[in-house]
Structure 1
């Protein structure tokens, strides 16, 4: 599951992987997207959130992380591998005090993160995060939505392209 991987890889057996992303959405907004898949690559849930303003990209990624953690906690998900394509965010999370502009958001994230029994937060390259990225980019179409069991049509091709060869 390292950054050298060019395709989505499943989490360890019995775990779920949560990919999230932030991105520009619509003419002036920012969006967040997340997708959760099991250790076989099967879709579990996806969500999107839209905000009618734009933050600095790193702040947007941190806000997206906090949003994803809140949803995962709300949904009682556990045994998670949480993945971001923003290396700077992963570094900031693990060295919170080195990033004063993000400190409050990251402290919120650390508190949420500690509520999970088994959870890790890793960096993976952008190519492994296309589904979450698509949801973030199209969030202005969905606003605040969650899809359980059946993904939205807009990400079906991305999910199919991501299926692992198990």
Structure 2
């Protein structure tokens, strides 16, 4: 959980920026905070949330992102740019996508809510082979 940023920069025109963060709160807890501003810096909404336990810092940052996504959906906010000061969390989103997981997501309309144990479908098997070529 990083230190607060000093300078705010605007998002692209026509979008709003949602900055979110997690931090230690009180003697035993963790807190989440978010603020939304438009592309001119005009305040739209802010929120905070407290939990009476502490997670690993990266987990807390990820939970604060999930919380921010949930609120944005509840508030029907769109055209948002989400920003975090947690470099480890941001880097995780910029890593290359796993071929199998990506294929399952892209083809989920074919399978709906399915789980495969032990023997994958042939399409998944083909992705598994290309995903780990050394096997």
TM-score, normalising length: structure 2: 0.65
Structure 1 position 95, deviation (Å): 3.7
Q: What is the 5 A alignment of 1:36-47? A: 36-47=36-47
Q: Deviations over 1:47-85 (max 9, x none)?
A: 000000000000000000000000001111111111000
User: 2: distance between equivalents of 1:85 and 1:92?
Assistant: 13
1:18 aligns with 2:18: yes
Q: What is the 5 A alignment of 1:1-166? A: 7-95=7-95
User: 1: distance between equivalents of 2:93 and 2:61?
Assistant: 11
User: 2: distance between equivalents of 1:32 and 1:96?
Assistant: 28
Question: How has the CA–CA distance of structure 1 residues 84 and 70 changed in structure 2, closer, same or farther, with 3 Å as cutoff?
Answer: same
Q: Deviations over 1:75-129 (max 9, x none)?
A: 111111110001110122344989xxxxxxxxxxxxxxxxxxxxxxxxxxxxxxx
- Give the structure with the higher percent helix: 1
User: 1: distance between equivalents of 2:73 and 2:91?
Assistant: 22
Give the 3-state SS of the residue equivalent to 1:82 in structure 2.
strand
Which structure has the greater CA radius of gyration? Answer: 2
Q: RMSD in angstroms over aligned alpha carbons?
A: 2.0
TM-score, normalising length: structure 1: 0.53
Structure 1 position 36, deviation (Å): 0.1
Structure 1 position 13, deviation (Å): 1.2
User: 1: distance between equivalents of 2:92 and 2:8?
Assistant: 23
- The count of aligned residue pairs is 94
